Structure 1
Amino acid sequence: MSPVTEQWGEVLRTHLALGEEDSPARAAAAFSAEAGFFAVAGRGDEDGWPYFRSTAKGAEGAQGAVPDDIEALCTVCEEAVHPRGLRIAGTFWQRESREVISDVVTGSELELGLLREGDRAMWVVRAAPDVCMFVLVDGDREAQVSEARSLVLDFGSFLAGQGY
């Protein structure tokens, strides 16, 4: 099943309540080993790309994308987050926890990892061997981290139900 970027961006926005000011998620991205990042969304009108893709000044001063460490992200999709952590958009995220949760609807297993970088938190859920998603938590209160966890698990269940 090949994802369509425009549709998946809206799916992320809807499932993670990114259109609401009080959403516990700041930005989200869906990634597959086959397609790379196939959907990215930020809260409200915010661009979510800077949280997931590095940019640097090009030779002529234009903004150009710097390739992400796709091999590392593919590894995330294969085995959840490596104990050493993960570099995303030039930021090193340290894995704080990892758990495997059985989805009650589909019976599939979802791997969930919590990443930290200073006082920031990000959830990673692996819904299938080649598909995972990232949700950057808005703020550092544990209530926001917990609420974002619920949203990311719901979305992981949705992905599993869609055959990913």
Structure 2
Amino acid sequence: MSPVTEQWGEVLRTHLALGEERSPVRAAAAFSAEAGFFAVAGRGDEDGWPYFRSMARVAGAGAAAGDTGPERGEPDDVEALGTVCEEVVHSRGLGIAGMPWRRENRELVSDPVTGRDLELALLREGDRFMWVVRTEQGVWVFVLVDGDSEAHLSEARSLTLEFDSFLVGQGY
């Protein structure tokens, strides 16, 4: 894992309070078209990678040793991920970690830091939900909600927008 990935993983864990008991967030990730998923964190000590990246084994070196890091996963569908917040979603839908997600809704909200409009989308896969917001610099934040209660959805939405504001402050 690169130092940048470790740094962003720590930022996600700290900023989104993933270690707190009863957090509405199960896992969070930051994604860019250039780097793919470059930071992923799970609540507490949980590995967040399986929620965002397929962990299918690739034949060859490392697979026999149990290597399940992101470099061993299937490639991201960057084109589809890039459309999740846009008005029209990619025709193939959206696959994250081998699961077919569909968009429940999309809304434009104003960023409290910059005043700019943000595209915010709520995704659903079965009984799981995920919030997604896109920054102006082509970075997406994914926040997997723990459970499907309205309170958890609302709190996770707030955390997603808060982290986006943090990214804007960092130049993303």
1:150 aligns with 2:146: no
Runs of 4+ in 1 over 4 A off after TM superposition: none
Aligned equivalent of 1:82, options 79, 82, 89 = 89
Name the structure with the higher strand share.
1
Give the deviation of 1:69 after TM superposition.
1.4
AA partner of residue 82 (structure 1): V
CA distance 1:8–1:103, shift in 2 (3 Å): same
Counterpart CA distance in 1 for 2:130 and 2:48 is 13
Which residue matches 1:95? 103
AA partner of residue 66 (structure 1): E
CA distance 1:151–1:18, shift in 2 (3 Å): same
Query: How do 1:1-16 residues align onto structure 2 when only pairs under 5 Å count?
Result: 4-16=4-16
Query: RMSD value over aligned CA atoms?
Result: 2.1
Aligned equivalent of 1:70, options 71, 78, 100 = 78
Aligned length: 161
CA distance 1:140–1:83, shift in 2 (3 Å): farther
AA partner of residue 89 (structure 2): H
Counterpart CA distance in 2 for 1:105 and 1:53 is 31
Contact 1:94 1:117 in 2 (8 A): yes
Structure 2 counterpart SS, 1:66: coil
CA distance 1:31–1:102, shift in 2 (3 Å): same
Which residue matches 2:148? 140
TM normalised by structure 2 equals 0.84
Give the deviation of 1:81 after TM superposition.
7.3
Contact 2:80 2:90 in 1 (8 A): no
AA partner of residue 4 (structure 1): V
Give the deviation of 1:107 after TM superposition.
1.8
Give the deviation of 1:108 after TM superposition.
2.1
The CA deviation string for residues 96-145 of structure 1, in whole angstroms up to 9 with x for no partner, is 11011111221222211000111110000112251111000011111111
Contact 1:99 1:112 in 2 (8 A): yes
Structure 1 counterpart SS, 2:81: helix
AA partner of residue 125 (structure 1): V
TM normalised by structure 1 equals 0.88
The CA deviation string for residues 66-108 of structure 1, in whole angstroms up to 9 with x for no partner, is 222122223447x377176411011011101101111122122
Structure 1: runs of 5 or more not aligned: none
My pick for the range that moved more, 61-70 or 24-33, is: 61-70
Contact 1:30 1:40 in 2 (8 A): yes
Contact 1:81 1:113 in 2 (8 A): no
CA distance 1:147–1:75, shift in 2 (3 Å): same
Structure 2: runs of 5 or more not aligned: none
Counterpart CA distance in 2 for 1:48 and 1:81 is 28
Contact 1:83 1:95 in 2 (8 A): no
